[in-house]
Each structure stands twice: as C-alpha cells, then as structure tokens.
Amino acid sequence: MGETVEQVTALQPAERVRLDADRLETLYKQLGARGAEDVVCRALEEIAARLAQAERDYRAARFDGMRKGCRGLIGMAEEVGMPLMARVARDVTACIDAGDGTALGASFARLLRIAERSLCEIWDMQDGAF
C-alpha cells in the first residue's frame, strides 16, 4: 500500500491584501467624511452578510444562491477599494459556472481568507482616514 506519514504539516496560506487607497480617497472627496464613512460601513456590513450566506449556501450545495451572492460581492468590494477580494469572488463564480467542485472549494476558502484580511485592513484604515 502507501507510506505511513508520521508528521503532517498544516499549511497556513498568507496572502497580503492591498486596498485601493485611491478608490477610498475618491469616495472621501465625493461624499465627504461622513458620507464616505456611511458608504464604507454599509458596504462592509453587506459584504460580511453575503459572505456568511455564501458559506451557508456552499455547505448546503445551493450553488445558484452562492453564485448570486458572490456576484454581488464583486461590485461591493470594488466600490470600497478591495480589488483582490473582487477578483477572487469572480474566480469563485467561474468555478461554479464550470462545475468544478475542487476548484470551488479552494477558491472559496481563499475568498474567505482574503475577505477576512480585507475587512480588517479597511477597518484599520478607516480608523485613521475618517
């Protein structure tokens, strides 16, 4: 048969997120401090809610609902300067469209990691920017 593995290494993927500071600055200039803060806060709440729903949909194999939620994430992430999260959400929808369950699992796990880091990063930035 196969070899017996005595030591297993748990991988902890770390990917640096970069927010689009220009996009956030544009929001700030267009809407003022209060308006930009309101837009960002509402977007972050909606992003968190959609991610939670997408995770429930994934676990229940409701891929149509998951796809719809991830498509919505793309626009919201772009609106508040999270281009990497938008790109990975596009990857997730492409995996759903292709019917590739293995790639979907990996891409969705990446989306959750990127989203968590992006949300933390924007909250930290918001504390100093607004």
- If you search the block for the tokens 């809407």, which residue do you land on? 31
Q: How far apart are CA 80 and CA 102, in angstroms?
A: 30
Mean pLDDT of 23-45: 92
Q: How confident is the model at residue 10 (pLDDT cuts 50, 70, 90)?
A: low
65 Cβ contact list (under 8 Å, min separation 6)? 53, 57
What is the predicted pLDDT for the residue at 130? 44
3-state secondary structure of 23: helix
Greatest mean pLDDT among 31-35, 96-100, 124-128 lies in: 96-100
pTM: 0.83
